[in-house]
Amino acid sequence: MSKSILITGASSGIGRAVAFEMAKRGYSLALTARRLDLLETVRAEIVKRCPSVAVEIRPLDVIDYDAVFAVMRDLVDALGGLDIVFANAGVGLNDAIGRGQFERSRRNIEVNLIGAMATVDSAVGHFLERGSGHIVGNCSVAAFRGMARNSSYGASKAGLAHYLEALRVEVYRKNIDVTVLYPGYIDTPLSDNLRDRPFAISAEKAAAIIADKIERKVRSATVPVFPWNIIGRLLKVLPLGAIARL
């Protein structure tokens, strides 16, 4: 029997690419996103390439918190259980503190942090009942250090990483694995508005790396590992003046 994975934010970017990669590896898929029409296109393409793979889709906005729990239960029933839940849905809105952009800040936190928390909470409830499972959270190298014009996005990803680390403690010895991923710059619509994207890789390459990390059940990893594992360490120790010039 094939394993199954639920992916939020699966209509584009990393989520879409991971859906195709996991289908190629024989996983049954539960895919959610706000736009059902885009999900239908993704499903049709996956079924064409991998006709033996089961693909369930549901429209979902992760900040509709009640709907998150309802859709999770629905997809668990549809696939007869879930093995992996990838909390991936997110936005990347640049903001500057005190410059009239609080709505962007609020949106980043609501979607990237609270929406992901709702996804994880609902998934863990299922995993505790079935006695096993695997949570994967899509954080970011932006979680490593607060940066100008990226305050709430970085905070949302750092908060999610902290939340997932706490989850790992809570489910210790409960047969539930937790993987925290820290992607660098990935060529997706989320990064289209960025002026610079050093060391950017394609969504397809990122998806292959992510799938490998999921299957190995790593605790945490940057995506790709090099050079972001080194850059991540440097960001934490660089003096304030150097960070301000970036």
Encode pLDDT of 208-219 as tens digits: 999 999 999 999
Number of domains present in the structure of the chain: 1
Q: Which residues are catalytic?
A: 153
Rounded to whole angstroms, the Cα distance separating 12 from 121 reads 24
Structural domain of 44: 4-245
pLDDT at 54: 98
* Amino acid present at 240: L
Q: Which of 208, 198, 179, 172 is nearest to 88 (CA)?
A: 179
Residue 122 neighbours by CB under 8 Å, 6+ apart:
68, 69, 72, 73
Average pLDDT score, the chain: 95
| Burial class (CB within 10 angstroms; exposed 0-12, middle 13-18, buried 19+) of 192 | exposed
Average pLDDT over residues 164-190: 95
Angle in degrees, CA 95, 19, 178, rounded to 5: 70
Domain of 54, CATH number, reads: 3.40.50.720
Per cent of the chain over pLDDT 70 is 98
**Model-level pTM?**
0.96
Q: Binning pLDDT at 50, 70 and 90, where does residue 1 land?
A: low
pLDDT at 2: 82
pLDDT at 197: 82
* pLDDT above 70: residue 22: yes
pLDDT at 192: 64
pLDDT at 96: 94
